[in-house]
Chain A
Amino acid sequence: MYPPSFDYAAPDDLDEALKLLELHNEDAKIMTGGVGLINAMKHHVIKPGFLIDISRIRELGLIGDHGGYLSIGAAVKVAELQRSDLVKRNYTALSEAAGAIADPLLRNMISVGGNVCTGNPDDDLPPVFLSMDAQYILAGRNGRRVIDADGFYLGHMSTAIRPGEILVEVRVPRQTERSGSAYIKRELRQNDHLVAGVAASISLEEDGRYKRLAFGLSGSGNTSIHARLPKFTGSRPVDVPVGDIAKMVVEEASPLSDRQGSASYKRKVILVLAREALTLALQRAEQGGQK
């Protein structure tokens, strides 16, 4: 299977990439890992005339602790995100979601930017970024803008990226002392298409009450879903059964019936996953969270 001919450039400098994008805008695609693009191009689903490969731009390949937030470059491979000790320790759900993507070989190829920018509601990183109130940094010829992950996913395969823009970085607010997170994905077989996935991200007050409680869902509707539950802020975890919270999470989901199961089956799966993810996140928060 071959795509129609196209031109290709792999600049090692972001300004050069932005210039090329402006020049070829209508016809160009940004390529970071290439896994999504190449499969779509082989099937002639898209036929870009110009590919701008940004994987060689050094500044886009870094993960770092910037005090107030975790910074993840758009070209970071999801395998690196999965392996990073910093991410494992303080942003556990993110490491778990990265490790849930595809298989070990594809994780060496798929980038954070590609996973975030496709806008596929079944992808694993977006729900975690939503649950952690992440921000996406978009660069254009006229400078950068910051957009909340919450405002990024507009519809199925549709995002807030404007023509001429490149996602360069994801910022995840630093989790407090007593925070914890978890991501659990259910598949019928290993590496099969998902049934659904749930991310839970919480932080607790000094005295153990909920300070923040948020969920992100994959495979649960037209877009990646953010379920914030401010209602529980201030309650003590012992006073609100995990099952009650999970029921409210399911209310935010609108899964579709497909080969992975009926919508009502998926709702049950989401209920169970929400319970399990919250229980894990709570345990992690109570064990001290951020180190």
Chain B
Amino acid sequence: MKISVNFNGRNVDADVEPRKLLVDFIRDDLHLTGTHVGCDTSSCGACTILLDGVAVKSCTMFAVQANNRNITTIEGLSKGDELHRLQSAFIEEGGLQCGYCTPGMIMTSAWLLSNNAAPTEKEIRNGISGNLCRCTGYDSIIRSIQKASSDRRGGRK
């Protein structure tokens, strides 16, 4: 089936089998490998992307469902070499160890902050409850998100 999708501001036309998962289309066909696959069963959030600005799990969508819609992946957050303020904050606060969950964590956080510029710790914890991290124990992730929410000059808005 022919689809036309805007990825990170660029229009992509493709002919895909309806059963092609969106995450595989992103990784295998577009070679945007920042979006990860952890569980493949809607639980871990490693595959989180923004669909028309809203965070969703791309392992639980077929690529055809994204037809005529806008997708942002982790690669679309930075502006050239200038990191998004969430990316800078994760580096500064040590919000990652192995990094497997990080793209998903950051995409979810970007959606969270787009709706609530200054979330409380509880709101952050609830907000990332669909994203699992096996390494950090979450505290440094929370601090990173708090830093990005208060430090608006650290990167692109």
- Give the size range of A's interface with the partner: 20 to 34
Residues A8 and B64 in contact, CB atoms below 8 Å apart? yes
In A94-124, which residues have CB < 8 Å from any B CB? 102-106, 108-109
In the complex, residue of chain A having the shortest beta-carbon distance to the beta carbon of B57 = A105
Residue B42, interface by CB 8 Å = yes
Residue B130, interface by CB 8 Å = yes
Residue B60, interface by CB 8 Å = yes
Which of B40, B41, B60, B64: most chain A CB closer than 10 A?
B60
A34, chain B: closest CB distance, angstroms: 6
Residues B1 and A8 in contact, CB atoms below 8 Å apart? yes
Residues A2 and B19 in contact, CB atoms below 8 Å apart? yes
Residue B102, interface by CB 8 Å = no
Chain B interface: which of A35-43, A84-92, A149-157, A173-181?
A: A35-43
Q: How many A-B residue pairs lie within 8 Å, measured between CB atoms?
A: 68
| B residues in contact with A167, CB < 8 Å | none
Residues A38 and B61 in contact, CB atoms below 8 Å apart? yes
Dominant SS among interface residues on chain A: loop
Residues in chain B within 8 A of chain A (CB atoms): 1, 17-19, 21, 40-42, 45, 48, 54-57, 60-62, 64-65, 67, 108, 126-127, 129-131
23 A-B interface contacts by CB (under 8 A): A1-B40, A2-B19, A5-B19, A8-B62, A34-B60, A34-B61, A34-B62, A35-B42, A38-B60, A39-B42, A39-B60, A103-B130, A104-B108, A104-B129, A105-B48, A105-B55, A105-B57, A108-B54, A108-B56, A109-B56, A109-B57, A190-B129, A191-B130
